[in-house]
Chain A
């Protein structure tokens, strides 16, 4: 059992249709961990490819649409800093949220999960072949966006459907 597990999950009308272990956090997120666990400055690339200086006391937050999807097919690399081809039109964000749940074994609490959710509707008038998924976060200031994870997937986002795309971070004994 890993100690910090990252998963992605897709739900159609509340029903889970895809649930997989994520490849990993990107090195952008790794550098944030470095900074926060060493109290040292690190350099991270934003989704525009610009190198930004991250100080350990810089803020980190969740953007309005944290989970992002795309059509790019390049194999995931540790230092990916953006989706290869993020879908920015033809879909509408319905909602997004972050919530946590306890993990219990019987009556004993053994961990927690953090769910990062963005729900989109496909209004492109055609099915969309989703080939990549990731989550983004804000750091330094709200104007800078960074990619925290990226995974290759194969999912058909049907026209007019409403689908929840999620990343789940699990910390447990």
Chain B
């Protein structure tokens, strides 16, 4: 399973590469939700973007609603740490929408080889001046506790977003044989 991220600016794809990573929250979620959790003595604590902690249970699951606190967020920080719980420095552009797309990967005969799952947020710069984007992060909503959790984060060279332009960061999870 691979995680990619990409960025479209004014509808044009300008960056697409392998993500640096899921962060610790994702690892904790995988191991505690899928592989036995407390039965094996794992630490099953996640940290929300507001730094509050909560334990992974058999009901823990995420979704990607079109709300203010969920999305692929953008920022101008430049640090990346395994234990990050939020972007380093979020930018306050105008959020347009969140969307999710699920796409099959098939060979020439139509055989299913894998699947893409993409999480996208569209932002518009209405600040009155250009901004520099250097980080993105995937923040999802935990449905059982109503927490917002950073699951992946990446940093990169600055991308300038002029006033009036849109930027469309996305994360894409790929499973493939």
Give chain B residues whose Cβ lies under 8 Å from the Cβ of A6.
1
Give chain A residues whose Cβ lies under 8 Å from the Cβ of B18.
1-3
Number of interface residues of B (CB under 8 A): 48
Minimal beta-carbon separation of B97 from chain A (angstroms): 16
Contact mask for chain A residues 20-49; partner B; CB cutoff 8 A; 1 contact, 0 none: 000111010110111111111000000000
Contact of A56 among B61, B102, B112 (CB under 8 A): B61
Contact mask for chain B residues 95-116; partner A; CB cutoff 8 A; 1 contact, 0 none: 0000010100000000111110
- A130 on interface, CB distance cutoff 8 Å: no
Give CA–CA (A17, B2) in the complex, Å.
Answer: 26
Q: Decide if B21 touches A172 in the complex (CB within 8 Å).
A: yes
Q: Which residue of A lies closest to B144 (CB)?
A: A57
Give CA–CA (A109, B24) in the complex, Å.
Answer: 10
Q: Decide if B40 touches A97 in the complex (CB within 8 Å).
A: yes
Q: Which residue of B lies closest to A31 (CB)?
A: B115
Q: Decide if A35 touches B35 in the complex (CB within 8 Å).
A: no
**Given the contacts A32-B34, A34-B117, A99-B40, A171 and B27 also touching, CB distance less than 8 Å:** yes
Give chain B residues whose Cβ lies under 8 Å from the Cβ of A169.
30-31, 35
Residues of B within 8 A of A (CB): 1-3, 18-24, 26-27, 29-31, 33-36, 39-40, 42, 58-64, 80, 82-83, 100, 102, 111-115, 117, 140, 143-144, 152, 173, 175-177
Q: Can you list 27 A-B contacts (CB < 8 A)?
A: A3-B3, A3-B21, A24-B1, A24-B114, A24-B175, A27-B114, A32-B34, A33-B117, A35-B61, A36-B60, A37-B117, A39-B63, A56-B61, A56-B143, A60-B33, A62-B35, A77-B111, A98-B35, A98-B40, A99-B40, A100-B31, A108-B82, A109-B82, A114-B30, A114-B35, A169-B30, A171-B21
